Amino acid sequence: MPRLIEYRQAIREALDEELARDPMVVLMGEEVAQYNGAYKVTQGLWEKWGDKRVVDTPISEAGFIGMGVGASMLGIRPVMELMFWSFYTVAWDQIINNAGMVRYMSGGLINCPIVVRGPANGGTGVGATHSHTPENIMASFPGMKCVCPATARDAKGLMKAAIRDNDPVMFMENTLLYGEKGEVPDNSELPEGELFIPLGVAEVKREGTDLSLIAHGRAVLTCLKAAEILEEEHGISVEVVDLRTIRPLDEETIFESVRKTHKAICVDENKPFCGVSAQIASSIQLHCFDDLDAPVLRVSALDSPAFYSPPIEKLQLPYPDVIVAKALSIC
Amino acid sequence: MAAAAKTTPKHADAPINKALTRDDKIKLFRQISRIRRFEQISLKHYNAGKMGGFLHLYIGQESVAVGCVSLMGPNDHVITAYRDHGHALAVGMGMNECMAELFGKKTGCSKGKGGSMHYFAPDKNYWGGHGIVAGQTPLGLGLAYGLKYKGLKGAAMCFMGDGAVNQGAFHESLNLAALFDLPVIYIIENNGYSMGTSQARSSSYTGCLAQRAEGYGIAWEQLNGEDVYEVRARVQVAMERAHSESKPTVLEIATYRYYGHSVADANHKKYRTKEEIERYEREHDPILIWRDHMIKEGILTDAQATEIDQEAFKEAEAAAVFAEKSDWPDPSEIFDDVYWEVDNQTVASQSGRHFFND
């Protein structure tokens, strides 16, 4: 029988296994230890690993993220939680200039093996300041890597790859997914003895022949729902490509899908201006121009700050009907 | 003309200074002279248009870096801001690689990718060279965190200017340093001006800038930086605190820069008087003060001191020739040193696209 676990537990397992594997791995962040994590991702880890390996920090993002970056230069491997990725704004200089640029500016003498992780999503009625989706922003900096897992399985396997990576990895989770259960094999079932998913490898989450939906994070699940509707109600066979990692980006899997279906819609929860889907759309038109039977379309969050009022905010993020309508306009 | 040494005998007699051999003292004189000459030669070439960007000169402050760095043991580390040439040479970086970096050449310490503000030498426990004011202060904290995590008896000396004390990152760092008992020493090199704004116009404080540490329960001290003896004697106390108690310290070291914030600072003779600058050069110059010590102690004759200074001058001139003759970086190097995994052609680098130029 398949093992179903929550997305948050999958991440917790990855953290736990990496704490066990490498004594240089340290978890730090606000409420990650004694409180067990604001979203319970780190539940039980402080009790198991103690003060040295799981560290509560004050509400001081610039300070503790910068501290982690500095420690990583000496070979420590901090996995730092932003309670909300939205708080990256107050640690911007430490993340971008220090973690992101120090390797280049030192001519390759230094590297920062850090992970910054936490939820990066809207849709929870917490207002605009807590609803940012900065994957496009982080991925726009050469030197950075950026991961947005949609499922529990991917979250676990990608977290392990992120922690072992020797470059700074921005790992973006989703509060709306933390409680979602998914199939995650137990290590004992795996030939390698662990679940490890390399960065930079997309996955076709659903195969189809008429249209490619290209998405990441929670938008993948929205696309899967839209694909079902399109199949059942309109007889359209939809392929869903999950990017999983934004940078490095598996373009080949995208192009392969588009070359098969000849139509593409890029879906993300970013705002439209310079969102991830803009980058993907640009790449598709450049590399698959002759394969396309329709313009590449995009579905993104509506172009305003996040609305607080819950029923209105729901309309701001891509939902299946919007994707279905876009699909029908070209299919 | 030798300046009158202001040091009280107690600093020269501190055990850490008593332990200096004749050769150690000469080495300190050589270092301090090399930094001065390096920067004078770099200024000449900057003014001749050989360099890009900014050139923040350390001239006048040399005793601070040299004194502090001379206290370092194998597990002590240094990080600083953009006025970083002095610390770099003090930890043992070569003039050639440093000068070539200013010229933007391939042979530069950062392969021409960092420039004046971004010198690094991890093999010498030197972690830069950082351009954003106070941006390095959490990193210095992290170095201390790493030392403590690894169980090493060391200290992270994090240098900063007086203009950096009003940045939030510094205050967050102080809180964390005290909270986690980290062996970091924040060394405020107070040259009186945050660019063109005097201390009185930029900072609100009681007593002195370092005294802000009191609010965080951190030990602090204010000292004069013109004399290497004083710097060593008093910074050593903070080093001891870091090594044996794993506790932070904030030091404020009074110093003075003869040139502007950067060479491009056109106003530096407007926000302070010519007389003020000349008085420092005459009465407080760290090189003249150390030279005076050497001569009075019978360690060097005036002629020998001049010879060391001339050697430093020649070395700096040779470094400029080296830099001038060195090749520019090759455009093919633009995509090197972005990702560790790509540079090292690891398995992780094989999946996915890392660069998006077309």
For residue range B154-174, what is the model confidence (pLDDT) as tens digits? 999 999 999 999 999 999 999
Verify whether the Cβ–Cβ distance B110 to A70 is below 8 Å.
Answer: no
Tokens of B181: 């008992």
Contacts with A, B 158-177, CB within 8 Å: 168-169, 172-173, 175-176
Q: Over 60: is that where the pLDDT of B279 sits?
A: yes
Verify whether the Cβ–Cβ distance B337 to A73 is below 8 Å.
Answer: no
- Catalytic residue (choose from A17, A18, A30, A130): A130
Q: Over 50: is that where the pLDDT of B2 sits?
A: no
Q: Over 50: is that where the pLDDT of B220 sits?
A: yes
Distance separating alpha carbons of residues B111 and B98, to the nearest angstrom: 10
Q: What pLDDT score was predicted for residue B261?
A: 85
Residue, of A1 and A300, whose pLDDT is higher: A300
Distance separating alpha carbons of residues A114 and B139, to the nearest angstrom: 13
CB-based contact, A110 to chain B, within 8 Å:
yes
Q: How high is the mean pLDDT of chain A?
A: 97
Cβ burial A253-265 (10 Å sphere, 16+ → b, else e): bbbbbbeebbbbb
Beta carbon pairs, A and B, within 8 Å: 195
Check residue A249 and report its DSSP letter. B
Verify whether the Cβ–Cβ distance B339 to A76 is below 8 Å.
Answer: no
Residue, of A284 and B1, whose pLDDT is higher: A284
Tokens of B215: 């609010």
Verify whether the Cβ–Cβ distance A105 to B351 is below 8 Å.
Answer: no
Residue among A39, A42, A72, A40 at smallest CA distance from A54: A42
Enumerate domains of chain A plus CATH numbers. Answer: 4-189 (3.40.50.970), 203-330 (3.40.50.920)
CB-based contact, A114 to chain B, within 8 Å:
no
- H/E segment holding residue B290: helix B286-296
In DSSP terms, B159 is beta-bridged to B187
Q: Which CATH architecture has domain B9-350?
A: 3-Layer(aba) Sandwich (3.40)
Check residue B347 and report its DSSP letter. G
CB A15 within 8 A of CB A45: yes
- H/E segment holding residue B88: helix B85-91
Place of tokens 């950067």: B262
Check residue B126 and report its DSSP letter. B
Q: Over 60: is that where the pLDDT of A42 sits?
A: yes
Q: Over 80: is that where the pLDDT of A264 sits?
A: yes
CA of A193, closest CA in chain B: separation in Å? Answer: 19
Number of neighbouring beta carbons within 10 Å of residue B15? 8
Contacts of B316 (CB under 8 A, 6+ apart): B34, B37, B38, B40, B41, B42, B95, B99
Residue among B271, B327, B322 at smallest CA distance from B42: B322
CB-based contact, B351 to chain A, within 8 Å:
yes
CA of B23, closest CA in chain A: separation in Å? Answer: 32
Number of neighbouring beta carbons within 10 Å of residue B9? 8
Cβ burial A191-201 (10 Å sphere, 16+ → b, else e): eeebbbbbbbb
Verify whether the Cβ–Cβ distance B145 to A71 is below 8 Å.
Answer: yes
pLDDT tens digits along B247-278: 999 999 999 998 888 888 877 778 888 888 89
Q: How high is the mean pLDDT of chain B?
A: 95
**Across B209-326, where does the E strand assignment appear?**
219-224, 249-254
For an interface test with A, the pick among B118, B149, B335 (most A C-beta atoms closer than 10 Å) comes out as B149
SS3 B36: helix
**Integer distance in angstroms from the first to the last C-alpha of chain B?**
63
Q: What pLDDT score was predicted for residue B5?
A: 47
Verify whether the Cβ–Cβ distance A63 to B138 is below 8 Å.
Answer: yes
In DSSP terms, A56 is beta-bridged to A29
Average pLDDT over every residue of B293-299: 97
Q: What pLDDT score was predicted for residue B8?
A: 61
- H/E segment holding residue B190: strand B184-190
Q: Over 70: is that where the pLDDT of B287 sits?
A: yes
Give percent of chain B with pLDDT exceeding 70.
Answer: 97
Distance separating alpha carbons of residues A214 and A211, to the nearest angstrom: 10
- Catalytic residue (choose from A61, A81, A135, A173): A61
- H/E segment holding residue A281: helix A276-287
The answer to whether the Cα torsion of B188, B191, B195, B196 is positive or negative is: positive
Average pLDDT over every residue of B320-332: 98
CB-based contact, A282 to chain B, within 8 Å:
no
Verify whether the Cβ–Cβ distance A67 to B176 is below 8 Å.
Answer: yes
CA of B149, closest CA in chain A: separation in Å? Answer: 8
CB B110 within 8 A of CB B120: yes
pLDDT tens digits along B92-143: 999 999 999 999 999 999 999 999 999 999 999 999 999 999 999 999 999 9
Residue, of B1 and B319, whose pLDDT is higher: B319
CA of B343, closest CA in chain A: separation in Å? Answer: 8
CB A234 within 8 A of CB A273: no
Verify whether the Cβ–Cβ distance B122 to A73 is below 8 Å.
Answer: yes
- Which residues of B fall within a CB distance of 8 Å from A58? 175-176, 179
Distance separating alpha carbons of residues A306 and A303, to the nearest angstrom: 9
Average pLDDT over every residue of A313-329: 97
CA of A226, closest CA in chain B: separation in Å? Answer: 27
Query: Quick one: pLDDT band at residue B9, thresholds 50, 70, 90?
Result: low
Give percent of chain B with pLDDT exceeding 90.
Answer: 89
Helical axes B286-296 vs B22-47, angle rounded to 10°: 150
In DSSP terms, B157 is beta-bridged to B78, B185
Determine the residue of chain A that is closest to B333 in CA distance: A107
CB A266 within 8 A of CB A136: no
Verify whether the Cβ–Cβ distance A67 to B173 is below 8 Å.
Answer: yes
Verify whether the Cβ–Cβ distance B79 to A70 is below 8 Å.
Answer: yes
CB A169 within 8 A of CB A139: no
Closest CB to A248: pick one of B141, B168, B353.
Answer: B353
Determine the residue of chain A that is closest to B128 in CA distance: A106
Report DSSP letters for A57-92, one per residue: --S-HHHHHHHHHHHHHTT-EEEEE-SSGGGGGGGH
Closest CB to A167: pick one of B139, B173, B340.
Answer: B340
CB A122 within 8 A of CB A301: yes
- Which residues of A fall within a CB distance of 8 Å from B355? 142
Query: Quick one: pLDDT band at residue B7, thresholds 50, 70, 90?
Result: low
**Integer distance in angstroms from the first to the last C-alpha of chain A?**
39
- Which residues of A fall within a CB distance of 8 Å from B156? 70
**Across chain B, where does the E strand assignment appear?**
77-79, 156-161, 184-190, 193-194, 197-198, 219-224, 249-254
Report DSSP letters for A149-191, one per residue: --SHHHHHHHHHHHHH-SS-EEEEE-TTTTT-EEE---GGGST
CA of B339, closest CA in chain A: separation in Å? Answer: 5
CB A199 within 8 A of CB A167: no
- Which residues of B fall within a CB distance of 8 Å from A166? 340-341, 344, 346, 348
Contacts of A309 (CB under 8 A, 6+ apart): A125
Average pLDDT over every residue of B141-152: 98
Verify whether the Cβ–Cβ distance B138 to A58 is below 8 Å.
Answer: no
Residue among A143, A305, A299 at smallest CA distance from A211: A299
> Which amino acid is located at A297 in the chain?
L
For an interface test with A, the pick among B77, B339, B347 (most A C-beta atoms closer than 10 Å) comes out as B339
CA of A256, closest CA in chain B: separation in Å? Answer: 14
Q: ipTM strictly over 0.90? A: yes
Residue among A35, A1, A33 at smallest CA distance from A15: A33
Pairing of strands A211-215, A169-173: unpaired
Verify whether the Cβ–Cβ distance A70 to B143 is below 8 Å.
Answer: yes
Q: Over 90: is that where the pLDDT of B205 sits?
A: yes
Distance separating alpha carbons of residues A312 and A304, to the nearest angstrom: 12
pLDDT tens digits along B55-81: 999 999 999 999 999 999 999 999 999
Q: Over 90: is that where the pLDDT of B243 sits?
A: yes
The total number of residues shown for chain B amounts to: 358
Verify whether the Cβ–Cβ distance A106 to B354 is below 8 Å.
Answer: no
Q: What pLDDT score was predicted for residue B3?
A: 43
A61 a catalytic residue:
yes
CA of A90, closest CA in chain B: separation in Å? Answer: 9
Tokens of B178: 């005290």
Verify whether the Cβ–Cβ distance B337 to A104 is below 8 Å.
Answer: yes
Q: Over 50: is that where the pLDDT of B4 sits?
A: no
Query: Quick one: pLDDT band at residue B42, thresholds 50, 70, 90?
Result: very high
CB-based contact, B356 to chain A, within 8 Å:
yes
CB-based contact, B357 to chain A, within 8 Å:
no
Contacts of B222 (CB under 8 A, 6+ apart): B208, B210, B211, B251, B252, B253, B254
Report DSSP letters for B237-248, one per residue: HHHHIIIII---
Q: What pLDDT score was predicted for residue B152?
A: 98
A130 a catalytic residue:
yes
